[in-house]
Each structure stands twice: as structure tokens, then as C-alpha cells.
Structure 1
């Protein structure tokens, strides 16, 4: 779930402006050091926020660091971007597992059928919800 291109400029401009502000106040090494530290740090944060993995591997649904065996996957529902507010709003169960990325439109809700698991369902963003839902339903 990589970060779309139009989310990159604002943090990078903010990092350059912050570096320039520090640069104006100090001569010498402290003048260029903020550019070397703050701008790459902003890049790293953008890349890290978009490195969430959603996959089905080895009989498990992997969403970020969480995994759910496919035998405990129940009903699978696809929600488009226009329905996000309803899914993530007041009807969201506080015990649900949620991994939402604002820059990714569609959501998937997967019911958890494991009686030992206190999580009723998972709600997560994915760029290809129909394909993932078909794979989960087939499994």
C-alpha cells in the first residue's frame, strides 16, 4: 500500500523549510547538517508508512504484522471509498482489527470465525479488494 505521489511533496517541502530555517541560524557544519538528516528522515517516514503488506501466503491472510489462518476466514465484504465513513464510523466494533490507510480507497472486512479469538472481524485497506476477496472466498 505505497503512498501515492501527491502525498510526497508536502512533507518534503516541510523538511526542506525546517532545514533552511536551521541553516539560517547557524554557520559552518550546522548549516548543511539539517539537510543531510531531516530530508532523508522525511523520505524514510513516507516510505515506511507505505510499506504495509497485504497478502495471502502459506495458508494465512497477512495484513501488516498480523496473520489469520484461512480456516478462520468467514464472510468477506468489499467496501468502496464512498462507504468508508459508514464502515469506520460509529458502527465499528472497538475490538476489531483495523489497518486503514487514507490514501487507499477501498476497504475489506473479513469476519473471524475462530471462537478463541476476541477479534470479531478485520477491516483493512487494499488496492485490489475484488481480487483479494475472491481469493479469500475460494479458500
Structure 2
């Protein structure tokens, strides 16, 4: 049974940026054909949006496991969690980041949750996960049964 599920959808402004491919293609292909430029620009914009949606990671707490993107860890190996927003999140992603940490980050999702691992054999000391609801994710991890 899932106690938490979140898909990190891309922000709406990603679609606006992708739409800039249309006028760029129109300008590029204008000497050849405006129609071709419009078709190529639309295809490029839709491709960028499709790639952003397809690459959106899912975070799930269920069945004694934490899944973030393609990685998963048993909740029995999860230690403390720390919510970071604003400047704290920026520092956690940058100056304070351990190069060994497992990252599931979206540039358009500012808050992060640091999830410490207690497995001495795991080379990653913690996971750093982007989430729009870090307090809810931390609560779901804390409340989930450890198996």
C-alpha cells in the first residue's frame, strides 16, 4: 500500500521555453518554406515537452521501500530526514553536497529532502530528493512500517 506518491512534473514554464523552438524554426526555414519551419518548430517543441514529461521522476513510499526515480532503498536502511527550502536547499544542492550522495533533483522544484542512509555498505551516505511536498514525504517515511 502506498503511503506517498509524487510525480515531479515539469513546471509550466518549460512548455513556454519549448515553444520558442517554433519562431526559431520559422526564422531558420523562412528562406526555404515557412510551412516547413512551422512544422519543424512544432515538432521540436512537442519533442522537448514529451521528453520533459517522460523524464519526470516518481517518488513512492510503499511496501517497506522508498523509490525515487529508478533507485530504491528499503525503509529499514533509512535514517533521519531533513527538509530544506530556500537558501538551505540551494546550499544542500551546492556547497554542502557530498559527491557520493544519490541525487534525484529537478531544477524547477526548489525544495529538497535529505534522506540519510544507515547501510554501512552503501557508498551513498544520503539521498537528496527534489519534492514539492517535503514535509509530507518526510512524514510518510517516518510513519511507514520498517520491514
**TM-score interval (norm. to shorter):** 0.7 to 0.9
State the TM-score, normalizing by the size of structure 2.
0.81
5+ residue gaps, structure 2, are 1-7
Decide whether the 8 Å contact of 2:104 with 2:128 is kept in 1. yes
Deviations 1:51-99 (A, max 9, x none): 2101112221111111011110011111112311221222211100012
How far residue 36 of structure 1 moved from its aligned partner, in angstroms, is 5.1
Do structure 1's residue 113 and structure 2's residue 123 form an aligned pair? no
Q: Which has the higher helix share?
A: 1
Q: How big is each residue's C-alpha offset from its partner over 1:25-73, in whole Å with a ceiling of 9 and x where there is no partner?
A: 3249845541453232122133234x21011122211111110111100
Please give the TM-score of this superposition, normalised by the length of structure 1: 0.85
Runs (4+) off by over 6 Å: none
CA RMSD of aligned residues (A): 2.1
Residue 60 (structure 2) aligned to one of 55, 60, 74 = 55
5+ residue gaps in structure 1?
Answer: none
The secondary structure found in structure 1 opposite 2:106 is coil
Matched, 1:79 2:84: yes
